[in-house]
Every structure is written in structure tokens, then in C-alpha cells.
Structure 1
Amino acid sequence: MRTSNHLIGLLNFLTFLLSIPILGGGIWLSSRANSTDCMRFLQWPLIVIGVAIMVVSLAGFAGACYRNTFLMRFYLVCMFFIIAALISFIIFAYGVTDKGGGKPVDNRAYRDYYLQDYSGWLKDRVASDSYWGKISSCIRESKACKKIAVTVNGVPETESMFYLRKLNPIQSGCCKPPTDCGYTYVNETYWTPGGGLAGTNPDCSLWNNDQDQLCYSCSSCKVGVLASLRHSWRKVSVINIVILIILVIAYVVGCGAYRNNKRIDNDEPYGEARMTKAQPSRLQF
């Protein structure tokens, strides 16, 4: 009886500590949204779930330690909905980031990204004209492409050095033309036509050396955002799965602690009454 209450108290203290990574994951996504991903609405479910787990874990901890049936009932009801919400978020995150990934390029360390490799709700939302205007503006303001320029001992990097760099998806998709377009490298964000443009890729005609345009209108830039989101969400989802398993264990133990508390509350009046009846008989003897 006491063991289950102590265990649920310990587990809820643990889940309170583990809610910090969930909240941290939401804040991390928020910081990435401000700097690269530019999808600001995605972090809020994690932040809300993290705060809810903190509050409910404290209620469960107090209910177990003080054997408070009301707090335990509140904890179990709320934790059920939190677990359901976390499961839904994990399924949603994996569902919308199921497909996609960059394709390797010969003699390049970075990858190229193509919109046809992605599908689903997230792709449609990012690629929509109305929404992409806000995202591309956010990428410009973040100066993601200006940060791509590097120097070695004060000297700009050469073409061969650039090809050995591992660019992130947004740098590869938005800050340079696709490799199959046949552009010639001048610097990281300035390329000239060379050997004729490949006609199969519509992005070839969209590239512009104007530093305010570059490939921000290209499909490859949209895919860069998708690939960046996919990478971020997968990282956070791994943490969420681990925390979900612990929450389910805590919930099961909490059900046992709640039943114990109710049984104790129901048995105490009966035990006290029996002792009251037994005392006169002992005195008479």
C-alpha cells in the first residue's frame, strides 16, 4: 500500500524532471523557427504539453505523498489526456515527416533537395504561395545565406573548398542554384551560367544573383525548409517517445495508488468502529 504511493510519488517527481526536456524541446524549436525553420506554430503543442506535465506531476506527487484522493483523481484524469495528446503529437510528427531527404551529389559533400521527394500536409502547407511568402521573408531576415560565406586566413574559400562543405538543407536549397543547373561557382552566393542550363529543373530559371532573391522562390528552398523541419522534429520525437513510456508506467502505478487510497478511506471508519465496540468488552472482563 505504502510502496505504491511512494513509487507513484517518485515517478511523478521523475516525470516532473522529464517535462523539462519536453518544454526545452518546444523552446528549441521556437529558437530554430526564429533563425532557420521559420515555422513558428509548430513548437506550441510541445510547450503546452510540457507545462501540463509539470503541473499534473506536482499534483500526482502531492496526492501520493499526502494520500489525497482528490489530487490523485485529478492527476489520473489529466494524465490520461496528456498521454493521449502526446501520442497524437508523436504520430502527427512522424506522419508529416515520413518522406523526404536530400540526394547525394557527385563530388560534393552537401546534398541537393527536390520537392517531389516530399508529400503530405506539411509539404502542401510550406509550398503554398500564401504561406511561402511569410517563410521566405523570414529566411531573408534571418540572414541564413549571408552566414554561408566563410574565409580561410582572411581569403575567401575556393570552389573546391566549397564543394567539400556540409551545408544544411536551407543553405543548400536557398543559397545556391541546384547542381544539375550547371552554374559556375564565383562565391558562395554568386554563380554564373556555364555550359547551358538544364531544362528539366524549373529552379534553374529562378536563380538570381541578387542577394535579396537568390533561390528564395525555388522549390529547392521550400524543400530545404521541409528537410530542416524533418530533422528537428525527429530529434524531439525521440525524446517524446522515451518520456511517453515513463508517463504510461507512472499512470499505471498511479491507478494502483488511487485504488489503495480509496480502500484506506473506506476501511478506516469500519476499523475505528470495531475498536470502539471492542473496548467495553475488555473493560468488563
Structure 2
Amino acid sequence: MRTSNHLIGVLNFLTFLLSVPILGGGIWLSSRANNTDCLKFLQWPLIIIGACIMIISLAGIAGACYRNTFLMWLYLFVMFFVIAALIGFIIFAYVVTDKGSGRTVMNRAYLDYYLQDYSGWLEERVASDSYWGKIASCISQDSKVCAKMGRNVGGVPETAEIFYLRRLSPIQSGCCKPPTECGYVYQNETVWNPGAGLVGANPDCTRWSNDQEQLCYGCDSCKAGVLASLKKSWRKVSVINIVVMIILVIVYIIAYAAFRNNRKMDNDEPSGEARMTKAHPTRFEF
């Protein structure tokens, strides 16, 4: 009995530790939402799942230490649904970030982003008027992504040739400069002048403004940049979640087996002997 309780206690302590990277991933997404991505509702399911695992694990530890069968039963019951929720969240994260990626541009290290490359629930959510106004305001006023793009090389502003070699983030590329196909001429990181040639047919070409309060915040390329940034962030967290989920399933199976062994011992039933054998023991034992 003691060994079984110790095993359950150790397993619950392990699940408590596993809740830390899940909770940390949610907090990291929250900081990304505040500083870069500016979409603040997506991290909460992960934070809630991590907090639930942490609380349930503490209940499981208490149940193991005090041999409280109810707490152990509650731990197994709730943990089953938490694991199911985590699996559902991982599937949801991959489904909503499945489509879309940046397009390579000739003689540029950065990528260009197009809203038509994305589709589905997340794209509709980001592009909707009710959400995009808040997101654009966050990018321009709170995170100040574009305002932080300026660089000096040797004490002077970087040239166009150096800028073209920069690996811009999706939001920097989509929101802080016009699409490359529009033919604008680089003056500095966030100031671009119309070129001598014709402006491209992309509607974003006419939406670009050198006004530092507007830039390309109203462009579809900016919305695509936010979606690409979200995809990159969620994929990083999903890798951690998959590893944690696999470990949680293994721990749950072991904890369930240990809990059943405890129940048998509580009923004075040897772990390897069935109830039917005890109720009707054979006369002949070898």
C-alpha cells in the first residue's frame, strides 16, 4: 500500500511539473499578444488548462499522502477531461493555423504576405472589422513594431541594399512597408516613395501611407502578417504541448493502475488475485 501511494504521489508531482511548461506557454503567448501578435484571446485556453493540471495534481498529491480515495478518484476523473481538452486544443491550433505562409521575393531576404493565402476561422476572425481595428491599434500604439524598425549602420541610417537583406518578422514585412510588387522606392524603413513605374494592381498599393500613424495598418498584407506571426507562435507552443500530452497520458495510465491496486488492497484483495477466486476458493492448491 505504501509503495502504491508513493508511486501515485510521485506521478502527481510529475504532472504538477508538466503543468509548468503548459502554463508557461500560455503566458508566453500572452506576452506575444501584448508585444507583437496583438490577438489577446487565444492564449487563455492554454493558461486555463495549465492551471487546471496544476490544481488537480496538488489534489492528487494530497490524496496519495493522506490515502484519500475520493481525492484520487476526483483527480483521475478530472484529469481525463483535462487531457481530452489539451488534445482538442492541439488539434484546434493546428487546424486554424494550417494554411498560409509568406511568399519569397526576388533579391529580398524577407517574405511578402498575402491575405488570400489564408482562410478559415482564424482568418475571418482577424480580418473582421470588429477585431482588426483593435489589432491595428495595438500594433501601431502598444507594441510599436514599426517604430522600432529603424537601424543605424556605422552611425548612419541603413541603405536600401542593407534593408533588403534583413529578415523581417511577418508583422514588420506586412504592416511597416508596402508590398514589393507595388514598386515603391525605399527612403528609410517606414518611408517609401512611389517609383517611376506603374503601381501594381494589388489594392494594398493605394492603401500605403508614409504617415507614421497609418503606414500599411489598413492593408490586407498587415492582416496576413499577423496571421503568419500567430501561426509561428502557436506552432512553437504546440510542439511542447504534444510532448507534455504524451507524457500526461502515460502518467495517467500508470496512476490509474496504481489507484486500482489501492482499491484492491483496501478490499483485502491481493493485487494478482481476482474477486471470484476469493469468494469461491478451490479445495486443491498446488
- TM-score in terms of structure 2 length: 0.90
How many angstroms apart in 1 are the aligned matches of 2:9 and 2:246?
A: 17
How many angstroms apart in 1 are the aligned matches of 2:80 and 2:97?
A: 26
Letter in 1 for 2:37: D
1:274: which partner in 2? none
Equivalent pairs: percent with the same residue?
74
Secondary structure of 2:187's match?
strand
Larger fraction in helix? 1
How many angstroms apart in 2 are the aligned matches of 1:197 and 1:245?
A: 55
1:183: which partner in 2? 184
Cα pair 1:144 1:171 within 8 Å, conserved = yes
Letter in 1 for 2:80: F
2:60: which partner in 1? 60
Letter in 1 for 2:179: P
More off after superposition, 107-116 vs 192-201 = 192-201
Aligned pairs for 1:199-214 (under 5 A) are 199-214=200-215
More off after superposition, 161-170 vs 19-28 = 19-28
1:33: which partner in 2? 33
RMSD: 1.4
2:77: which partner in 1? 77
Question: Deviation at 1:154?
Answer: 2.0
1:129: which partner in 2? 129
Q: May I ask how many residue pairs the two structures share in their alignment?
A: 268
How many angstroms apart in 1 are the aligned matches of 2:20 and 2:262?
A: 29
- TM-score in terms of structure 1 length: 0.90
1:13: which partner in 2? 13
How many angstroms apart in 2 are the aligned matches of 1:180 and 1:5?
A: 66
Letter in 2 for 1:51: A
Cα pair 2:11 2:255 within 8 Å, conserved = no
2:89: which partner in 1? 89
Residues 187-229 of structure 1: per-residue CA shift (max 9 Å, x gap): 0000011133444311001100000000000000000100000
Aligned pairs for 1:222-241 (under 5 A) are 222-241=223-242
1:271: which partner in 2? none
Residues 30-80 of structure 1: per-residue CA shift (max 9 Å, x gap): 111111111111111111111111111122223234432111101001101
Question: Deviation at 1:4?
Answer: 4.5
1:281: which partner in 2? none
Cα pair 1:9 1:60 within 8 Å, conserved = yes
Question: Deviation at 1:3?
Answer: 4.8
1:256: which partner in 2? 257
Residues 93-142 of structure 1: per-residue CA shift (max 9 Å, x gap): 00000011111111111000011111100000101122111110111112
Letter in 1 for 2:237: V
Question: Deviation at 1:246?
Answer: 1.0
How many angstroms apart in 2 are the aligned matches of 1:87 and 1:207?
A: 42
Question: Deviation at 1:266?
Answer: 1.6
How many angstroms apart in 2 are the aligned matches of 1:27 and 1:197?
A: 46
Aligned pairs for 1:240-279 (under 5 A) are 240-267=241-268
Cα pair 1:12 1:58 within 8 Å, conserved = yes
Cα pair 1:23 1:51 within 8 Å, conserved = yes
